[in-house]
Chain A
Amino acid sequence: MAQVPGPRRDRMKVDEKIEHPVRMLFRVMKYVLKKYKWLYLLALVCIAAAAVAALMGTLFQKTLVDEYIVPNIGAADPDFAPLLAVLSKLAMIFLAGVIVSYVQQRVLAVISQGSLKTIRDDVFTRMEKLPIKYFDTHSHGSIMSVYTNDVDTLRQLISSSVPEILQTAVTVTITLVSMIAMSGYLTLVSVGMVLVSFFVTARVGASSGKYYAKQQQQLASVNGYIEEMIQGQKVVKVFNHESRAIETFEEKNEELRQSANRANGIANILMPINGNLGHLSYVLVAVVGAILAISGRADLTLGTIVSFLGLNKSFSRPIRQLSAQVNSIVLALAGAKRIFAIIDETPENDEGKVTLVRVSAQDDGSLVEQSERTGRWAWKRVDQAGREELIPMLGDVRFNDVDFEYRENHPILHDIDIYAYPGQKIAFVGSTGAGKTTITNLINRFYDIKDGEILYDGINVKDIKKNDLRHSLGVVLQETNLFTGTVMENIRYGRLDATDEECIEAAKLANADSFIRRLPDGYNTMLKNDGANLSQGQRQLLSISRAAVADPPVLILDEATSSVDTRTEVLVQRGMDSIMKGRTTFVIAHRLSTVRDSDCIMVLEGGRIIERGSHEELLEKRGRYYSLYSNNFSEE
């Protein structure tokens, strides 16, 4: 793994401040509307229609009494026919309301779940395009939490908060118009109280927001501790460290409890405060209305006041309910910010044009592009005139005066010159941190060099399409990463169209076949948790099989057999040598046995190549390599 200097960014660094909340909200909505414009419109129409149906129900109650019941009071022969008629009409309206509401629910479900899927897919797709540097400089926990926490907070925003805001807007507008029509003065009182509500919500919301930020911070701290300790749980056991681990945990846990308590406590009182402000508004309207009515200053009847009181309620209630959503909206926007941060991250750039194609040689020696596997490759370059040129892929890799740094002014590699002729086996040795892995990271362009050039069959690697460049290089890393799936699927990862037989063949080459056959279900054994029940050596054999099935023109082995016993290693090497015959191989190892038979061994020290040559030549030089070797030798 590349050693990237500098502090890792803190896991879930709490930066809850959102610069432009409204703009963020619009961006989320734009995301939703992009795909579901018409469905969302349909949902809105449904919301409005359902509100109208509900309103008709309320209005009906008034006419019911006045027009259909009162005339019948005391009547000897009450006539219920008109009532029946109006009730059936109402039933129809209600039924329509029910249907509309069902449609609304279904449509909103499709929109919210669909948008979540789109966002997840987009974040993932973007993530896959990010350069290695991003993963080296961001803690994996914080990237994970975008998927586990942040996307979820958006669901509520899309499926409930936003529709509720719109529903509130519809209801409030309708009631406001009716209120103004009834009495301007009373409307002023009503609106005034709602403004007070807004003010209080903003104030309380701000302070609870502060506490929520604190809570998130503590939560991150507890999560971080849990993550570290659970990962090291086996070490904890071995050292009887359980009680001390619990002690520290309890401290952090208590801190989290306190700040969570404060944050939730404040958030919980927001709704009752607004609710009681509603009551206050009720009283005020009644009193003011009464005064106005008594003094005769306005044309107010009892009926109007009673109706107005009802309207006042339906005016302030939705606004109140909306205030309960403030916190979840804030949380969602904070999540949205982190989601868009990934989406906005600059993807890996790729200005390369040269592609890798399979070819076969004609009788006259010229190359012809093929679609099947031929065992031969060529670089295809199209010049400005559109002429295609096929350059045979040989595996000639050169570094010319390459300098590299991860961070500005912290050079890692200086003046690296390497010539790997086609078919050669080039080894890198040197102490940890000397820059061995970094060199391989540059060949496949996980990182870009600062100065100098890397030529691949005479082509600057920058001009090669990244995907094609990487297709041409098989890489086996010391840190094995296996995926959830069967052993077979893991091997096939190297080449997706490989048959079972080819996978087994590769496993045999890597000497993994015998242990795989001893697994409970052989090649169909499910691997979970990065192959948890396999030994490190077995995992390495599997990742070698994976690279072997890929059949790459050039192979990079970065400490690929470090945990494999030497006897097995010899067999693996023999297998790999047979498929890499005539192809270039780069090897990094600290075992002499792994590098000894290389064509050229580079000894790296402090980011420079200090010696190079074959095993014998280096021994003759009696330099650094010799001292390393003789040091080992005297040991044995």
Chain B
Amino acid sequence: MIKKLWSNVKQYKKSAVMTPVFAMLEVFMETLIPFVAAYLIDEGINGGNGSGDMSSIIKYGCLMVLMAFLSLTFAILAGKLAAKASTGFAANLRSSMYSKIQTYSFANIDKFSTGGLITRLTTDVTNIQQAFQMSTRMAVRAPITLISSLVMCFVINTRISFVFLGAIAVLGIIMVFVVKKVSGIFAEVFKKYDELNTDVQENITAIRVVKSFVREDFENEKFKNASGLLYKVAMRAEKIMALVSPGMMLVIYSLIIAVSWLAAHFIAGGSMTTGELTSLFSYISTVMMSLMMLLGVFAMIIMSLASARRIVEVLDEEPAVKQPDDPVFEVANGDIVFENVGFSYRKGGGDRTLCNIDLHIRSGETVGVIGGTGSGKTSLVNLISRLYDVDEGVVRVGGVDVRKYDIAALRDNVSVVLQKNLLFSGTVLDNLRWGNEHATRQECEAACKAAAADEFIKKLPDGYDTMIEQGGTNVSGGQRQRLCIARALLKKPKILILDDSTSAVDTGTDARIRSAMKDAIPGTTKIIIAQRIGSVKDADRIIVMEDGKINGFDTHENLLKNNAIYREIYDTQMSMGGDFDESPAGKGV
């Protein structure tokens, strides 16, 4: 995991490595300063036979100031480099994850929730950035101080140093114990935290449901339970963490007492001086300080471990739809064949969404798909452009297994207008050009005419240059759908799939779109999923779906005669009338 993350430091490796080097130099200067200070006292204040030596004072004073400046320079360099390395590292992590997510197939996207991916790209990266910065600055500094103090101890008195060594060993054991105990709990804390956030998110988006059912108190109760659980788990971690600082104090204090006792004997025996004892005490306090620092870094690393794990999960995720080794780039025509296809969203669980599908759609044919809610219409067409891969059987486009195509080439030729479609912030033209980056304005307008969108776009405040808000919230559902169709048309695909794409468009406009498309892209295979018989009845053939199977595949007339389900749908719709929303005569929005 660490290796995976470290590989993302990339061009900032130099900064990342130089940071501790400068930090070391800074520590070096810092340890020297008290040394010089001792000279200043001994030779300056205490020198000149006790009456003081002004020149020594100034000499050592200047030296100290110089050293302070050097130390400052090193510190600034270390600080700047640490910032550069950590923020660069964070940027690289975001970039790697984002690029990785771009390779995800629909199945991968379904697995991570949108919210989950966003948190990983934001909060988790920030955690790592902070931990990384702390570690590069402190992680080297603290051990070095620790070791240098230990070395100095050995120089002063070997026997006492063993006591010292023992104390450090005990501290090390305490730390390892705490890290081990706590990191598991922290993972749980993060899980609970995620759950809590999901709860909040759902409440915000579903606030109308909450208020309609007057469930505010219920939701409060639910939230309090969740936050109470979080509190409990967090407290379990805190309880262990609370042991650390007193534990360290206990060891250090014991050390002071042991050293005092031993030193008293040594000094009395003449094998040690009082000055050395004073030094020893100061080293003890240095050790204490650096351990505290180390502990801070440790705590940070423990907390960021969970984040690191979540980031690596994104990076390690295998795209479910893979680019073939020797891809085919040419899609010959819009001929589609399904051969004994079976498919399920949940691998190995639940009912299969599609089974035993055999189908041949000829190039240039217009095919309607109709069927009940959850009958597998969307799943069926999603297999054509490899938004998902089949579990069994084969889907062929232009005579070639879809899994053999270059994915981009396949999707350029198979244009899908998704059921849950979105526009992005940007102008109308920007959005249209998703279909074809280089489309001219004329081409865009032509596509919009074919999608019956031209009329309302021209009525927008800035026409084709009107800004669309995130998600396309400032145009109506029907308008959004028409823009999405126009966007898909611009791709000039060999196969065009409309997944219930005109559900919010009134029947008149719907009819106009269909006839315009017939003229605009006559050679394109068109698959139209719809609820309305009217939308599919003049298709060349119509697929009737029922419970993940094909119940009928024939012309409107033949289906009316031979297919019970189709006839039933037809009857209910004919007797009840069609539907209406925005009529061509309507004002629109």
Contacts and interface: CB of A to CB of B under 8 A. Distances in A.
Contacts of A446: 208, 211
B119 A593 contact: no
Interface stretch (B180-188, B218-226, B397-405): B218-226
A117 B228 contact: yes
A286 B38 CA distance: 11
A563 B500 contact: yes
A596 B216 CA distance: 36
B561 interface: no
Contact of A593 (B40, B228, B422, B572): B572
B340 interface: no
Best-surrounded residue of B88, B197, B373, B425 (most CB of chain A within 10 A):
B373
B569 A431 contact: no
Contacts of B437: 244
Contacts of B105: 237
A481 B208 contact: yes
Nearest to B105: A237
A315 to B, nearest CB: 16
Contacts of A575: none
Interface string B249-293: 110011011001101110110100010011001000000000000
Interface in B47-91: 51-52, 54, 57-58, 61, 64-65, 67-69, 71-72, 75-76, 78-80, 82-84, 86-88, 90-91
B568 interface: yes
Contacts of A222: 94, 122
A365 interface: no
Given A129-B216, A246-B95, A590-B579, 13 more contacts: A83-B261, A83-B264, A90-B257, A90-B260, A120-B223, A128-B220, A235-B422, A257-B88, A272-B75, A305-B41, A305-B45, A481-B208, A519-B350
B154 interface: no
A636 B71 contact: no
A306 B41 contact: yes
A290 B44 contact: yes
A411 interface: no
A238 interface: yes
The SS class assigned to the A binding surface is helix
A477 interface: yes
Interface string B325-361: 0000000000000000000011001110000000000
A431 B580 CA distance: 8
Best-surrounded residue of A234, A467, A473 (most CB of chain B within 10 A):
A234
A132 B227 CA distance: 24
Contacts of B205: 140, 481, 530
B518 interface: no
Interface in A143-160: 143-144, 147-149
B214 A635 contact: no
Interface stretch (A96-104, A182-190, A368-376): A96-104
A432 B478 contact: yes
A473 B212 contact: yes
A244 B431 CA distance: 13
B110 A238 contact: no
Interface residues of B, number: 186
B174 interface: no
B4 interface: no
A550 interface: yes
Given A94-B257, A475-B212, A565-B531, A276 B71 contact: yes
Interface in A462-477: 467, 470-471, 473-475, 477
A286 B267 contact: no
Interface stretch (A19-27, A533-541, A577-585): A533-541
Interface string A148-187: 1100000000000000000000000000000000000000
Given A245-B102, A275-B75, A276-B69, A144 B578 contact: no
Interface string A477-499: 10001111000000001101000
20 contacts: A68-B264, A70-B274, A109-B239, A116-B231, A128-B210, A135-B207, A144-B201, A148-B197, A237-B104, A240-B412, A250-B95, A256-B91, A261-B83, A276-B69, A282-B64, A305-B41, A431-B586, A532-B110, A532-B113, A631-B580
Nearest to B94: A253
Contact of A226 (B40, B98, B264, B568): B98
Contacts of A283: 37, 40, 61, 64-65, 68
A501 to B, nearest CB: 20
Contacts of A282: 33, 37, 64
Interface string B560-575: 0000010011001110
B202 interface: yes
